[in-house]
Chain A
Amino acid sequence: MNLEQISQDRIVKESKLRAFIRQNMSTVSIFGILLAISIFFSIMTNSFLTVNNSLNIIVQVAPNIIVAVVMTFVITTGGIDLSVGSVLALASALTAVLLSNGFGSLATLIVVLIAGIAVGFINGFAIAQFKIPPLIVTLASMIYIRGLALLITGGYSIAILSEHSISQLGQGRVLGVPIAVVFAAIFVALGILLLRSTKYGNYVTGIGINEEAIRRTGVNTVKVKIMTYMLSGGAAALAGMIIATRLGSGSSNIGNMFELDIIAAVVLGGTALFGGAGTVVGSVIGVALIGVIKNGLTLMHVSPYIIQITEGLVLLIAVILNVRVFGKKK
């Protein structure tokens, strides 16, 4: 039976490169925008295109990349995690409080990671088991986790002495490369592999486009979703420790609007806003774009308020492109 032949003949052959560009249009276009903006800042300032500044940007965005990689998975399942900024603050606060109360570096690392993962578990459990919308669940945890962070620090910043080996997370280098950047690179590599080449990645994509289909094949979708939010909590906790140890202080006030930066970056990169198609590489480009805009405008001595306005408008334009021009379906 060659009944499918008819429709087959209608498929137009195209080159691999063209197919790649068509399939990854929004990611390719955002990369183009990143290049254009980088060139703009290179021309407008003397300090943008320097080794020092480039390194500075990379170090700045490393924790964002770690969280954005995992946020890509969350959004690809059709979810969202608004609590990452608060988890960042909790991790920062907890790191400082634990260290100043005599905990060792390793114990601190483990406790903080577990705390982040636990928040993710609570988020994921409420979302997957009780079927409460992710926006509401993580909005709630965004609020109470920030409160928890404030409670344990009393609202003050607490110093983290660099003699603790955990400080290496934010300040150390391996072969000249900042450890935070190494972590970010590992997250990106694992993220790409996980999303493209594992069962888990397939289910994450499938859940975002047709959750019932995945459930009917016998996959425990509740488990997949809970796992995704646990990863998100864990990644935010790691990012929080990196930032706290880089700054040398734990504070419950860091990471305000951090979640929005991350979500913006992921959507900028071409991950479908409502799930079903995600790109880790795109998210990295998205994070880089936001990082470059902030850095470049700062170097141009533009008012921080203008920076925020620009960032928001860039996001708006990118999302319109993502949804309308490049026809990303749900």
Chain B
Amino acid sequence: MSSNYRIEMKNIQKSFGEIKSLQGVDLKLKEGEVLGLVGDNGAGKSTLMKTLSGVVVPDAGEFLFEGKQVKIDSPKTAKELNIETVFQDLSLCDTLDVASNMFLGREPVKSMGMLIDKEKLHEKSREALNRLGINISSTKLNVQNMSGGQRQAVAIARAMLFNPKVLIMDEPTAALGVKEVNMVLELINTVKKQGVSVILITHRLQDLFEVCDRITVLYEGKCIDDRPIDEFTLETLIKSIMGVPEGVHAL
């Protein structure tokens, strides 16, 4: 019955010491859907997404992936389900080059798996960057010398490398210039056309109206609103974020 949901998260709970970050959150994501996840600072958006990407293990709750119950208890298990994440804090290693960053943890190997196949590594990175229209002069550059936009592009290209089914983007446009924001939004639409389900966390509410199909609002660790994008205006969305959703009774 729930077969066209790619992801269902049920009653996810997580506490850090005294603070209940997530107090039983439900979240559903359809195939090829772009879901906007919003909420004020500390509402639990990033924590919720970290449970989905396996970085944080929830105290309680369950995950259904394409209708089947799954366990996500490490970044590895999330990746095995083709759930990829672009983290807010980028997660790039400054002293490694572009290609090494993109393939971190999944490097192509040769010589019976002993050595990294550097030729293939750089070739495949180049292909992936080209596919997304990202222009970086050399995949051998260390990322520490790059601009914010380039670094973000590398992080997104990395997430897109292995044909994700779910792409989580936590504030992908936070540190970017105007042009770079447009590039990222365009990238999201490209990805969506390929059937990828996207969860987008952002504080730039205007971006949501450009790419999202649906919006879920978190407030103090609870989901208080969840509607298709056309039922929202900027005003009603802001009210929801402030904790007083219009025409919706707290779930």
* Residue ranges of A at the interface with B (Cβ–Cβ < 8 Å): 1-5, 7-8, 11, 193, 197-199, 202, 205-206, 208-210, 212-219, 272, 276-277, 329
Contact = CB atoms under 8 A, between A and B. Distances in A.
A202 B118 CA distance: 12
Given A3-B183, A199-B116, A214 B105 contact: yes
B93 interface: yes
Nearest to A10: B147
Interface centre among A11, A215, A217 (most CB of B within 10 A): A217
18 contacts: A1-B133, A1-B186, A3-B179, A4-B147, A4-B149, A8-B136, A11-B137, A193-B115, A197-B115, A199-B109, A202-B107, A206-B96, A209-B96, A210-B92, A213-B92, A213-B93, A214-B104, A216-B91
Nearest to B87: A216
A206 B144 CA distance: 12
A101 B135 CA distance: 68
Interface stretch (B28-36, B72-80, B206-214): B72-80
Contacts of B114: 198
Contact of B91 (A198, A213, A329): A213
Contacts of A208: 95
A210 B94 contact: yes
Interface in B113-167: 114-116, 118, 133-137, 144, 146-147, 149-150, 153
B204 interface: no
A297 to B, nearest CB: 36
In this complex, which of A199, A202, A216, A272 has the most chain B Cβ atoms within 10 angstroms of its Cβ?
A: A216
A3 B92 contact: no
Given A199-B116, A205-B96, A1 B109 contact: no
Interface of B: 53-55, 74-76, 78-79, 85, 87, 89-96, 100, 104-107, 109, 114-116, 118, 133-137, 144, 146-147, 149-150, 153, 179-180, 182-183, 186
A7 B135 CA distance: 10
A276 B95 contact: yes
B105 A218 contact: yes
B75 to A, nearest CB: 4
A272 B180 CA distance: 33
A210 B135 contact: no
Contacts, number: 99
Given A198-B114, A216-B87, A218-B74, A209 B105 contact: no
A165 B186 CA distance: 70
Interface residue SS majority, chain A: helix
Q: Which 6 A-B pairs have the closest CB atoms?
A: A217-B105, A218-B76, A213-B91, A206-B93, A4-B135, A218-B75
A90 to B, nearest CB: 31
Contacts of B92: 210, 213
Given A4-B136, A202-B116, A216-B55, 10 more contacts: A1-B134, A3-B180, A3-B182, A3-B183, A4-B147, A4-B153, A213-B92, A213-B104, A214-B104, A329-B94
Contacts of B96: 202, 205-206, 209
A326 to B, nearest CB: 14
A209 B93 contact: yes
Contacts of B116: 197-199, 202
A4 B138 CA distance: 12
A248 to B, nearest CB: 38
Contacts of B146: 7
B94 A276 contact: yes
A4 B134 contact: yes
Contacts of A5: 135
Contacts of A212: 89, 91
Nearest to A9: B137
A34 B94 CA distance: 30
A1 B183 contact: yes
A217 B86 CA distance: 11
A272 B93 CA distance: 15
Contacts of B144: 329
A216 B85 contact: yes
Contacts of B53: 216
A1 B116 CA distance: 31
B149 A7 contact: yes
A2 B137 CA distance: 11
B75 A216 contact: yes
